[in-house]
Structure 1
Amino acid sequence: MTILVFGGNGQVGRELLRALSSLGTVVTTTRSGTLTDDSTCEVADFDQPDSLVALLGRVRPDIVVNAAAYTAVDKAEQDAEAAFRANAEAPGVIARWCSRAGVPFVHYSTDYVFDGEGTAPYREDQPTAPLGVYGTSKRDGEDRVRAAGGRHLIFRTAWVYAAHGNNFLRTMLRIGTERPALRVVADQIGTPTPAALIADVTAQALQHAGGLSGTWHLTASGQTSWHGFAEAIFAEALARGVLPRVPSVQAIASSEYPTPAKRPSWSVLDNSKLQQDFDILLPDWQEGLKRVIGELTP
């Protein structure tokens, strides 16, 4: 079986190459045609969505997993066309090819499809109302995948991080060695979710005998703020010897840290449907953090 993974250099993409290797031959793509270890791979340019058809026809995969996306949330406000090409048009092209070929298609979406005004974890069937270009482009991508009519698994996730790549955890660890004190937003609530968890659950879902199709929320369990996440990162990093000392972390309001794109203040997703449908236990976010910090332990 051949599994085609788009976005092999991203946080989730890199973990997918590991998690899916036991299911078959994994063929991966990046925009440059080179992976982080300098090995070569297929080229896929999401800025030219129609070009993806030729690649799909040549590889003829049995499963397609799309971990590629335009994720520059603030930049998207001034670069909407590029965000929609990568996050909506390209997934639509892939989904239509998969539908015609009878190939299952896995696609990742985001908590940013919601407006963040909720007070309880968002269910999959609740109305979407994105606040900015990024969220709108991802919602459009979901709609195009569904409209293609083939078997699809859309996994919405949030606050993704890993021991590699560009993410909040790595930023905190870097800045934490440079400054004695930090100011971190405390009024945005969500669930930190390791890229490895997303990849592992994807592999398990693809092995599920039910052949399900639909949309699920794939995050760790529990919730915290960015401030709470930062404090947990530093406490675990200190305990594991990743950092020799930790900075003080001051809680601030989002209004004190303005950004071009408005972030949802409530990003907690209800993951019970995924756990029930695929018989998968999604661990607490703190357990995931310990595992990721463990990867960085000297």
Structure 2
Amino acid sequence: MARSEPRSDNLTGILLMLAEMALFAVEDLFLKLAATGLPVGQIVLISGALGAPVFWVMARRQGRGIWVKEALHPAVFARNAGEMIAAASYVAALAAVPLGTVAAVLQALPLAVTMGAALVFAERVGWRRWTAILAGFAGVLLVIRPGSDGFRVETLLVLISVAGIVLRDLAARAIPASVTTAQVSAWGLLSVTLLGIGMMLASGQAKAVSGPETIILLGAVVFGTAGYWAVTAATRTGEVAVVAPFRYSRLVFSMSLGVAFLAERPDGPTLAGAGLIVASGLYAFARERRLKRASLVA
């Protein structure tokens, strides 16, 4: 019986991770649909303004406030900056780039986080994982194809978004352990709200939100919030090394939605690059898991 419980927990964690990736893919579809009629700054503002209260309520239920001195911690400011960079560039990318392409480039995120941890925190990364990282970024180059006729400069926005997420995730490690996830999330989304206001003031663009656009934006918030809950539950239920590789299912969901609802047709280089990115990430996960097992045995 003792041996069956971890397998059961891992299966639950895998199912939750798959659900999270599907939910985030649907959120991206809603955001892309919204971006066809609304300015990017307005979408950033609405997303932050609708999402922040959710985590404020969660923090209150945990007996925590958000207007506390910990909000001024330098690591919180750094994380908020990463959140703002990621949000603005990601919405802008969704507005201009096919959904499948955005999803393919985004799959390089785990490799980028590993590289950032090695460079910033001096975490040990062996030559095999460095090779996987380089192979993954070679896959990114296959997807975006700089210098070719198929190159779209807007695709670089996805890379900027990845850089913002890396900054966000690395900065989160330096936030005091006493600060809850709900507090950190509320601060990040409040920062995104302020950024949206600044973008709208700078561009002077604003548009009345129609009924269908309201439904689309609410759908994005509902699916995004549900996805956030699912990833939190997944990482707390199963072993990270077992559950984490299923993050790559987001690519399948996103490409499928792009084909079904947006008439997108990923070309050969995009599919090949996406495959290389995913294969590199899976190898890096497998290698990390093998090293952890070896350290436990030793």
* TM-score, normalising length: structure 2: 0.28
Instruction: Specify which structure has the bigger relative contact order, considering alpha-carbon pairs within 8 angstroms and separated by 6 or more residues.
Output: 2
> Greater helix percent: which structure?
2
